[in-house]
Amino acid sequence: MITNGSLTGLFSEEEISVPRQVRFWLFLILVIPSIYCSCVLLFQLFVNKKLQSQLSNHIIICLLIFGLIIELIDIPLHLSFLQLGFVWPSTRTLCTVWWFVDTGIYNGCVIIMAWGSIHRCLLIFHDRLFLVAKKRLLFHKMPLFILILYILIFYIVVIIFPPCSNTYDYNLPICGEYPCYLDVPLLGIWDTVINSIIPTAIITIFSIILLARVYIQKRHLNRANRWRRQRKMTIQLFSICILYLSANVPFNLVIFGHICGLPLHFGANVQVYANYLCYFVTLLFPFVCLSTLSEMRKKLRWKGLLLFRHSRYISTINPK
């Protein structure tokens, strides 16, 4: 994912040393089950009234939808490039769409995840805020709506209607160059700091706060049911945060170092590899969600067992 265009010297090294064929098959093997898992999760989260009513699942739904957009547009375009060796079709429109998904939608996921970290802390430690409809609107619905609106408006304006002229290189991934708005000082710094570095820092800080508070409360809380609920929500958030931070922390630390004046070659290889790890954040996210949603996991497992038993029964009465 491209998040900083000031580092123009790095884009010639945008491809990592792993052979293209290896990357192609790695992406292909992961993207098919990941798309299937995302669709199953979204279907269950929309259809199952109990899951749909849980406030903690609303942010998961948004992240799954954003991730599915990346899996259906960004990853297939990468697969096409890795197979052909050039961007096809080689048009400005495709490059613009690719930039919007690769940069805007992915950064949108990080921003929503940052709010999700704050929101989960409120749900666990200040759950009374969500009992009243007005406060639920103020602390749950409005922030999520505003963030999604901001993400869409900001990236539509700067990528689809940029204040500058974009350049394209169809022989490199993601059309080689980067959206020109990143070279505009105010927009470039805003996007890098506000839309990437700060959200990553928020995810890190609130994950640590959540773990510390849950640990402290565990020692003083005698209500087993409440503790089990807190533990479940904490494990879910922490699992997702670890996935996001594994790629975004090293990437943003290097970017922050460059902003602070370190030479561009500092951490160049780390940045390029961390950039590719961001794709695996999207590809693995549905599986992490499924592993932490115990109710859905049990339901899907039960359905699988029924299907397995049904097929065995049929084979027994029809031995031929």
Sign of the CA dihedral 210, 215, 218, 224?
A: positive
Neighbours of 71 (CB within 10 A): 25
We report the CATH number of the domain holding residue 268 as: 1.20.1070.10
Both tokens of residue 38?
């995302």
Residuewise pLDDT in 10s, the chain (320 residues): 554 444 444 444 467 888 889 999 999 999 999 999 999 999 989 988 888 888 888 999 999 999 999 999 999 999 999 999 999 999 999 999 999 999 999 999 999 999 999 998 888 888 788 888 888 888 889 999 999 999 999 999 999 999 999 999 999 889 976 899 999 999 999 999 999 999 999 999 998 988 888 777 766 665 555 556 667 778 888 889 999 999 999 999 999 998 888 888 888 888 889 988 999 999 999 999 988 776 666 666 545 433 334 444 334 344 44
How far from the centroid of its chain's Cα atoms is residue 35's Cα? 14
**pLDDT (0 to 100) of residue 316:** 39
Q: Beta strands of the chain (E only): which ranges?
A: none
Question: What region does 162 belong to: left with phi over 0, alpha with psi -120 to 50, or beta?
Answer: beta
Residue 308 lies in a domain: no
CA atoms within 13 A on the CB side of 171: 2
Tell me how far apart the alpha carbons of residues 261 and 116 are, in angstroms, rounded to a whole number: 32
- The boundaries of the domain holding residue 41 are 8-302
CA–CA distances in Å: residue 164 to residues 38, 170, 291: 36, 19, 44
In a domain, 1, yes or no: no
Residues 286 and 64 sit within 8 Å (Cβ to Cβ)? yes
Domain for residue 310, yes or no? Answer: no
pLDDT of residue 142: 94
In a domain, 312, yes or no: no
Query: Does a structural domain hold residue 320?
Result: no
pLDDT attached to residue 296: 66
The model carries a pTM of 0.86
Q: What is the pLDDT of residue 149?
A: 98
Alpha helices by DSSP H, 48-193: 49-53, 56-69, 75-84, 92-99, 106-125, 133-136, 142-155, 185-192
Q: What is the pLDDT of residue 319?
A: 41
What pLDDT shows up at residue 6?
41
pLDDT at position 318 is 45
User: Is residue 3 in a domain?
Assistant: no
Specify if 152 maps to a domain: yes
Q: Could you tell me if residue 172 is left (phi over 0), alpha (psi between -120 and 50 degrees) or otherwise beta?
A: beta
Q: What is the pLDDT of residue 291?
A: 84
Domain count along the chain? 1
Cα angle 30, 35, 38 (rounded to 5 degrees) comes to 120
Residue 317: inside a domain:
no
